[in-house]
Amino acid sequence: MLLAPLGLIYLLFLLAPISFFLAVSFLKYSATQLYTSTPTLENYQRLLFDPFYTRIILDTFRISATVTVITAVLAYAMAIELFRAGSTLRGLMIFAAVAPLMLGVIARSYGWIVVLGQSGLVNRVLLATGLISSPITFIGTEFTVIVALVHFMIPYMLFPIFSALAGQDRQLVPAASTLGARPVRAFLEVTLPLSRPGVMMGSALVFTLSAGSIVTPTLLGGRQVAMIGQTVYELVMSTFNWPLGAAAACILVLCQLVVMFLYLGRARHAG
């Protein structure tokens, strides 16, 4: 069967290692070995009850949720304009929205360092216009991380919303207007609710990606910002605490799965 190579690869290199990884999160940590073979729940207990870690988890949620909401609003605005644009302009707009994606997250984070750094563009403009007297420190704050994440996520939100808008019957709004609805009303009562599946899909995607981000908070958040992804990285690469790191990664993935299932469940209802 032609699909055997694919099945084998996924089984051997995807499912098996991940199951093993999952198992390790339930093993006891030891300073001398990578992991012991004693089953335990202490890793999860630590992550869920130690205030140090709970704060990280909650911060991650908070940041991801903020990013998702802001991105949804901004991407929606872009989607509307994209939708109303003629086809040449539309092609250009799509390309401009997608191009940053192809750069990779590190290059874009660096871009933000240049823009928001001490001697970066924004500070220089603000100083030059006299709005501030000394440079604002952007790098190393949660604000910057959120800005950079929103910047990164907009394309991921834009396309689901745009397809949802494009898929609507073009005569619904004219129909609403003949029934007496003014443009804003028609939008709120017809277009917006119908585009919900697209917004949900984009939100689920953006939330998942934000929660799992490592590079952006590391480069732009400095000491102030700690998200689960960074924690996993440190635990595994610096401390070599595989069990705890694995547990943290599993909690992250679990949350992402929950979000995905919520979205899928809602999507089925909306249909």
Give phi and psi for 9, each to the nearest 5.
-60, -45
CB atoms within 10 A of CB 252: 20
Q: Which amino acid does the sequence have at 21?
A: F
Taking the least distance from each CB to another protein, the nearer of 53 and 255 is: 255
The candidate with the shortest Cα–Cα distance to 166, out of 263, 101, 94, is: 94
Q: How far is the CB of 148 from another protein (least distance, A)?
A: 9
Cα–Cα distance between 100 and 108 in angstroms, integer? Answer: 8
Q: How far is the CB of 112 from another protein (least distance, A)?
A: 6
Burial of 12 (0-12, 13-18, 19+ CB in 10 A): exposed
Q: How far is the CB of 201 from another protein (least distance, A)?
A: 13
Q: How far is the CB of 70 from another protein (least distance, A)?
A: 11
Taking the least distance from each CB to another protein, the nearer of 165 and 199 is: 165
Question: In this structure, are residues 144 and 138 in contact, taking their beta carbons and an 8 Å threshold?
Answer: yes
Taking the least distance from each CB to another protein, the nearer of 49 and 268 is: 268
Taking the least distance from each CB to another protein, the nearer of 20 and 52 is: 20
Q: How far is the CB of 149 from another protein (least distance, A)?
A: 13
Q: Report residue 163 as tokens.
A: 């397809």
> 42-49 vs 51-84: helix axis angle to the nearest 10?
70
Q: How far is the CB of 142 from another protein (least distance, A)?
A: 18
Taking the least distance from each CB to another protein, the nearer of 146 and 165 is: 165
The angle formed by the CA atoms of residues 231, 245 and 26, to the nearest 5 degrees, is 150
Taking the least distance from each CB to another protein, the nearer of 51 and 156 is: 156
Size (the chain), residues:
271
Expressed in angstroms, the distance from the first to the final Cα of the chain is 36
Q: How far is the CB of 249 from another protein (least distance, A)?
A: 6
The candidate with the shortest Cα–Cα distance to 47, out of 257, 255, 244, is: 244
Taking the least distance from each CB to another protein, the nearer of 49 and 105 is: 105
